[in-house]
Structure 1
Amino acid sequence: MTADPPAATPARGLLALERMRTRPEFLRAARARTVRTPGFVLQGRDRGDGDAVHVGFTCSKKVGNAVARNRAKRRLREVARLELPDHGRAGWDYVLIGRRDETAARDFATLRADLIEALTRLHP
């Protein structure tokens, strides 16, 4: 008896997301454009290669202890996973920076709206 194939999930976007992991990648993004929203700060940089979207996440100790920082980063990762394939641009680096008392406590739907608004302001 063969197992049924997994149900096809609808394609969200055509952009592949790759994680930024090295300090030089984050520093290059920090020298580029910045958009501040109530829930987080978004930094964006056009790499010019038209390849996948690179995304990184960071929270300073000002956000709170390790538990608070990890919770804020988890929320940022999920927002990016849901919205960047549809609203991001290929060949761009994005860094989402958590904000103290906001990123972890803000309503999730509002965080998603913040990212969409930040991306539209970043890409005139």
Structure 2
Amino acid sequence: MTPPEAKGQRSNAPPPQPPAVLSCADPAAPIGLRVQILTQRADFLRAASARRQATTGFLLQARARGDDNAAVRVGFTCSKKIGNAVARNRAKRRLREVARAMLPLLAQTGWDYVLVGRPQVTIDRNFAMLLQDLACALARVHGPAQSKNGVLK
């Protein structure tokens, strides 16, 4: 027979595990930085006509909204070039997880971001490399603007 536990002794029970699925509204995000999901087609079109930064794993489209809302909004899209529905959904899941991990740390308030999956690469690329791709893309988007010939604007 096992004696009852005395106060102050450690339990043999495993520590609580974090949930398996986390939403983009990460509670560990810095105070005031809320990440919302883009759903309206018009928002995707406005982001597509703004800044773009290509990476090996995906394309990042970003724009400053210019409104008083401090939330960061993010959208995800994958065309049929990615593959069938299973492949597109997998690519979007990977992009959502990359955004959940990096946007609360590196995004600027008042911006919209759209991550566009690339055929073959988004699904097959190492996840750590996708994280690095997003960090580099955000640094370039928020850095000084350059013209096509490389001169600072």
Q: TM-score, structure 2 length as denominator?
A: 0.73
* Amino acid aligned to 1:13: P
Give the RMSD, CA atoms, in angstroms.
1.8
Divergent runs of 4+, >4 A:
none
Task: After TM superposition, give the deviation of residue 51 of structure 1 in Å.
Answer: 1.3
Please give the secondary structure, in 1, of the residue aligned with 2:121.
coil
Structure 1, unaligned stretches of length 5 or more? 1-5
Tell me the alpha carbon deviations over residues 14-35 of structure 1, each in whole angstroms, 9 at most, x when there is no partner.
Answer: 3110000010000000010000
1:59-74 aligned within 5 A: 59-74=78-93
Distance 1:56 1:10 in 2: 19
Q: TM-score, normalised by structure 1?
A: 0.90
Query: Which of these residues, 118, 125, 129, is aligned with residue 110 of structure 1?
Result: 129
Task: Provide the aligned length of Structure 1 versus Structure 2.
Answer: 118
The reply on whether 1:13 has 2:18 as its aligned counterpart is no
In structure 1, C-alpha distance between the alignment counterparts of 2:34 and 2:101, rounded to whole Å: 12
Q: Which has the larger radius of gyration?
A: 2
Structure 2 residue 88 is the aligned partner of structure 1 residue 82: no
The residue number in structure 2 matching 1:32 is: 50
Q: CA deviation at 1:56?
A: 0.2
Structure 2: which 5+ residue stretches go unaligned? 1-15, 18-25, 144-153
Paired with 1:21 and 1:121, the residues of 2 have a C-alpha distance of 25
Which structure's relative contact order is higher, taking Cα pairs within 8 Å and 6+ residues apart? 1
1:85 to partner: Cα distance: 0.4
